Amino acid sequence: MQLECFELEVSGKTALLELARPEQLNVLDERALSELELVLEHLQERGVKAVVLTGQGRAFAAGADVKAMAEMDPGSARAFSLKGNEVFLQLEKHPAIFVAAVNGYALGGGMELALACDLRLASSRAVFAQPEIGLGIIPGFGGTQRLPRLIGPARAKEWILTGKRYTAQEALEAGLVMEVVESEELLAKAQTLAAELAAKSGPILALAKRAVQAGTELAAANISLEAGLFGECFTHRDALEGLRAFVERREPDFQDR
């Protein structure tokens, strides 16, 4: 399997999956989403029971491709949102247990990728945010749905409506991550956890995962709603202004239209 955006190492019933675009801060674009879809299928074929997901370099994943989004119209934006949601749902429903080892920036779509994982460990240097509001858009890969289920609606509104960045310790206090460790210890800690999980029954792990998720299942209607609202952002002048301002490295001039 030829991969450009990821590196995958399978060892027995565990795997290490790394976003491998450090020079781009592991941006999530159409290519990355399509590759992730292929990897998920491959992991299931190999019978992998636990996967550590992390990013190379300074970022876990610093979000979706803003340059590409700045050229989108409402229809293509909605399609992009649906694609990301579809792939992240596949990850969430995958029989393997995914451990996100958040080593640095987990912003926007990158944070949404971590939210779709089953367990999250964070480096003390990790930074979390849903900064889309500052770009004139909203989260489009499930963030409006998963974040409230994990940290509660009131706190999720704070994170999404302010777009603020939060430290690993603040993410721990919010209940988003299960533990914060030093950077040099993160990968070993995550791999130890994956090995502990893989020592258990694969089918029973998958059933337990399904049982827990049943109470917090993402309704297809809600995912479709998020994608539709994400697309609707692009009918507003402010969305394109916010995205282009980011690409041009300037402050956006929002005019409420």
pLDDT tens column, 160-215: 999 999 999 999 999 999 999 999 999 999 999 999 999 999 999 999 998 888 76
Q: Give pLDDT, residue 175.
A: 96
Regions of the chain short of the pLDDT cut 70: 215-220
The pTM is what? 0.90
Architecture of domain 1-184+200-257: Alpha-Beta Complex (3.90)
Active site residues: 112, 132
Q: Give pLDDT, residue 217.
A: 65
Q: Where are the domains of the chain?
A: 1-184+200-257
Q: Give pLDDT, residue 219.
A: 65
**Read out DSSP for the chain?**
---SSEEEEEETTEEEEEE--GGGTT-B-HHHHHHHHHHHHHHHHTT--EEEEEESTTEEE--B-HHHHTT--HHHHHHHHHHHHHHHHHHHH-SSEEEEEE-SEEETHHHHHHHHSSEEEEETT-EEE-GGGGGT----SSHHHHHHHHH-HHHHHHHHHH---EEHHHHHHHTS-SEEE-HHHHHHHHHHHHHHHHTS-HHHHHHHHHHHHHTTPPPHHHHHHHHHHHHHHTTSHHHHHHHHHHHTTS-------
